[in-house]
């Protein structure tokens, strides 16, 4: 007698092979049989007309903090993600000494847009070392499976204190970090993650700690990661880092590298694709490198209090270091400052988040009656109305008490033709949900559903089996996650039952359910009937696992 049987399903098994009609049987947390007319089970679902596929593996999330107060990683599990990888870009909250908690919180508030009061109230700090952090997660009754990187920025703060955001590390500090990375791997980290990306700034706009690291430091930490011949090197790369530089960082370490974030940039059309082509060349030479791409346009909601899209600009730093509203207004009035920022925005030699396409920014909310008539209009339209340049209007508006006006910017990755080329690339890893981060700016946690709805059902860019493979089996292979991502006997029963004609997400909406009542953007799934994690229906019980063992 089986514990669970799903019968009459169209099974898309995560291997990329053609779907077939049949049953899947589970005992405990393992798939034990698949075929037609399988025997009796304690629990049975008739899945006629529905698709059964593996749960999605979201390789780029930032649930490090949230998972300590919300073991369901909301909303990801409800959107079909049964395994999430945390610690991307190196922005972990472990290891962390008590005296560094405040700095880590302030950095996360800035770099990942997590509300300060939420982190202050929400994080369970019942750990110091990385090992203790993993044990804490294990004690949390996780509702989905979690894999965790050891993160470079938290590691530097542990070893160097505040100087982590001022300078390169000394040899003795690197030695200490090497030990922690190796120990973290032995405790069950999936790999080592870091960022050299210009847009990654911490408290007061100071670059995140990992951005102060020398190449030697990063190389030595990759080596420390690979101590037992395991581990994924995850890098969110600087605009100036090329694939050949990553090969140099890897040196003679024969481990896979995951590179983020390859988004289509309307002003630099072939940039992301060219990186993938460089990755192909590296793969052909034996270096296993993967490029993280996204199937969603990068849309961010922002106010001029914290315009994330400008925060990667060197010239914008002068704004970020101001403490009072008056000081902020003064710097915004400064014509030299305006000119420097605008020049940097319009400099097309660099790949940036925002490249001056003002028509892609819309006013979506304001409390000021004088502005109501412009709701829904883009910056070019509004600026024309006042006979101004868009950038000048945006800053003038902030100065005139418009700091809280809410804008939405469609920044990158919105050209379907270009994005399709990225998604279909052999060495692309479809990811970049950033789930758990930028909670009030965006919600891309439903990216996997969008691959199945928009890109598969509507645009027919993928067959269903190909799309599912990209979200499941392929990710498990890249990340060396054992026995997940495929519906085959011997594998863990992480499964989703869905209606292929209905699967989609709701429009994003706001909900103030974070600790300290901060609000966030959230989406719901449509067309997902059931979700099982390790053989257990998510509505009945929590059965997620902290994954600590990986393939080499």
Total chain residues near Zn ion (CB under 5 A): 2
Closest distance of CB 277 from Zn ion, Å: 23
Point out which span in 80-88, 290-298, 373-381, 405-413 binds Zn ion (CB under 5 A).
80-88
Point out which span in 84-92, 262-270, 303-311, 438-446 binds Zn ion (CB under 5 A).
84-92
Got the DSSP string for 79-131? Answer: GTEEEEEE-GGG----S--GGGHHHHHHHHHHHS---HHHHHHH-----SSHH
CA 312 to each of CA 120, 238, 420, 437: distance values in angstroms, whole numbers, following the listed order: 25, 11, 26, 17
Point out which span in 83-91, 201-209, 241-249, 541-549 binds Zn ion (CB under 5 A).
83-91
Closest distance of CB 260 from Zn ion, Å: 6
Nearer to Zn ion, 6 or 73 (CB): 73
Closest distance of CB 193 from Zn ion, Å: 9
Point out which span in 17-25, 81-89, 366-374, 484-492 binds Zn ion (CB under 5 A).
81-89
Nearer to Zn ion, 88 or 196 (CB): 88
CA 96 to each of CA 71, 161, 261, 284: distance values in angstroms, whole numbers, following the listed order: 20, 10, 27, 40
Closest distance of CB 434 from Zn ion, Å: 5
Neighbours of 542 (CB within 10 A): 16
Closest distance of CB 89 from Zn ion, Å: 4
Nearer to Zn ion, 85 or 382 (CB): 85
Neighbours of 305 (CB within 10 A): 11
Structural element, H or E, at residue 130: helix 130-138
Nearer to Zn ion, 2 or 233 (CB): 233
Taking CB atoms, the residue at the shortest distance from Zn ion is 89
Tell me the C-alpha distance between 342 and 335, whole Å. Answer: 10
Got the DSSP string for 5-26? Answer: EEEEEEE--SSSSPPEEEEEEE
Closest distance of CB 253 from Zn ion, Å: 23
Among 66, 88, 182, 429, binds Zn ion (CB under 5 A): 88
> What phi and psi values does residue 148 have, to the nearest 5 degrees?
-130, 130
Nearer to Zn ion, 433 or 453 (CB): 433
Structural element, H or E, at residue 108: helix 101-111
| Burial (CB count within 10 angstroms: exposed 0-12, middle 13-18, buried 19+), residue 317 | middle
Tell me the C-alpha distance between 514 and 519, whole Å. Answer: 6
Closest distance of CB 91 from Zn ion, Å: 7
Point out which span in 46-54, 87-95, 138-146, 223-231 binds Zn ion (CB under 5 A).
87-95
Which residues 6+ apart lie within 8 Å of 127 measured at CB?
Answer: 94, 96, 133, 135, 136
> Which of the residues 425 through 484 are near Zn ion (CB under 5 A)?
none
Point out which span in 13-21, 85-93, 162-170, 284-292 binds Zn ion (CB under 5 A).
85-93
Point out which span in 70-78, 82-90, 102-110, 476-484 binds Zn ion (CB under 5 A).
82-90
Tell me the three state secondary structure of residue 418.
Answer: helix
Nearer to Zn ion, 89 or 123 (CB): 89
Tell me the C-alpha distance between 222 and 226, whole Å. Answer: 6
Tell me the C-alpha distance between 99 and 391, whole Å. Answer: 41
CB-CB contact of 312 with 344 (8 Å): no
Closest distance of CB 236 from Zn ion, Å: 6
Nearer to Zn ion, 88 or 182 (CB): 88
Q: What are the structure tokens assigned to 210, written together?
A: 């990992």
Closest distance of CB 154 from Zn ion, Å: 14
Among 9, 89, 180, 258, binds Zn ion (CB under 5 A): 89
Nearer to Zn ion, 118 or 397 (CB): 118
Nearer to Zn ion, 86 or 423 (CB): 86
Nearer to Zn ion, 89 or 213 (CB): 89
Point out which span in 88-96, 167-175, 178-186, 294-302 binds Zn ion (CB under 5 A).
88-96
Tell me the C-alpha distance between 150 and 92, whole Å. Answer: 7
Q: What are the structure tokens assigned to 37, written together?
A: 């007319």
Closest distance of CB 301 from Zn ion, Å: 18
Q: What are the structure tokens assigned to 199, written together?
A: 């847009």
Closest distance of CB 459 from Zn ion, Å: 26
Nearer to Zn ion, 89 or 164 (CB): 89
Nearer to Zn ion, 25 or 261 (CB): 261
Closest distance of CB 108 from Zn ion, Å: 11
**Three-state SS across 330-390?**
HHHHCHHHHHHHHHHHHCCCCCCCCCCCHHHEEEEECCCHHHHHHCCCEHHHHHHHCCCCH
**Residues in contact with Zn ion by the rule CB under 5 A:** 88-89
């Amino acid at each position: 007698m089986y514990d669970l049987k799903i019968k009459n399903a169209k099974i898309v098994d995560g291997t990329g092979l053609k779907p077939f009609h049949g049953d899947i049987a589970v005992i405990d947390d393992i798939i034990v049989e698949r075929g037609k007319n399988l025997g009796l089970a304690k629990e049975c679902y008739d899945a006629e007309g529905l698709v059964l596929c593996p749960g999605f593996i979201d390789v780029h999330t930032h649930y490090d903090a949230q998972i300590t107060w919300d073991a369901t990683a909301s909303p990801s599990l409800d959107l079909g993600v049964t395994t999430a990888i945390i610690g991307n870009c190196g922005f972990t909250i472990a290891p962390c000494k008590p005296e560094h908690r405040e700095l880590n919180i302030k950095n996360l508030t800035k770099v990942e847009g997590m509300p300060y009061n939420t982190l202050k109230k929400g994080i369970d700090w019942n750990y110091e070392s990385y090992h203790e952090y993993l044990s804490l997660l294990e004690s949390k009754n996780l509702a989905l499976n979690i894999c965790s990187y050891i993160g470079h920025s938290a590691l530097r703060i542990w070893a160097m204190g505040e100087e982590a955001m001022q300078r390169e590390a000394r040899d003795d500090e690197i030695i200490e970090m090497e030990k922690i990375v190796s120990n973290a791997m032995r405790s069950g980290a999936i790999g080592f993650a870091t960022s050299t990306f210009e847009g990654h700034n911490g408290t007061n706009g100071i670059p995140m700690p990992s951005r102060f690291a020398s190449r030697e430091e990063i190389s030595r930490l990759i080596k420390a990661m690979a101590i037992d011949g395991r581990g994924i090197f995850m890098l969110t790369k600087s605009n100036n880092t090329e694939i050949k530089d990553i090969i140099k960082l890897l040196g003679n370490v024969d481990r896979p590298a995951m590179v983020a974030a390859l988004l289509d940039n309307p002003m630099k059309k072939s940039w992301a694709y060219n990186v993938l082509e460089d990755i192909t060349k590296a793969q052909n030479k034996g270096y296993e490198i993967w490029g993280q791409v996204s199937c969603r346009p990068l849309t961010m909601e922002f106010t001029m209090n914290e315009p994330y899209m400008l925060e990667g600009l060197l010239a914008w730093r002068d704004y970020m270091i101001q403490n009072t509203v008056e000081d902020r207004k003064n710097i915004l009035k400064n014509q030299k400052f305006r000119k420097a920022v605008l020049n940097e925005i319009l400099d097309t030699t660099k790949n940036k988040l925002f490249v001056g396409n003002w028509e892609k920014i819309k006013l979506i909310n304001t409390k000021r009656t004088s502005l109501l008539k412009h709701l829904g209009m883009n910056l070019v339209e509004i600026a024309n109305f006042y006979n101004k340049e868009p950038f000048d209007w945006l800053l003038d508006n902030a100065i005139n008490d418009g700091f809280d006006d809410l804008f939405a910017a469609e920044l990158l990755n919105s050209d379907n033709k270009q994005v399709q080329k990225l998604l279909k690339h052999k060495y692309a890893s479809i990811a970049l949900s950033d789930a758990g981060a930028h909670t009030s700016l965006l919600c891309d946690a439903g990216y996997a559903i969008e691959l199945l709805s928009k890109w598969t059902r509507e645009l027919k860019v993928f067959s269903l089996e190909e799309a599912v493979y990209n979200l499941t089996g392929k990710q498990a292979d890249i990340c060396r996650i054992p026995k997940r991502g495929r519906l085959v006997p011997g594998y863990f029963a992480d499964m989703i039952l869905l209606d292929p004609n209905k699967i989609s997400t709701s429009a994003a909406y706001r909900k103030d359910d974070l600790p300290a009542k901060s609000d966030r953007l959230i989406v719901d799934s449509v067309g997902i009937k059931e979700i099982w994690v390790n053989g257990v229906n998510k509505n009945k019980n929590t059965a997620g696992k902290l994954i600590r063992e990986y393939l080499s």
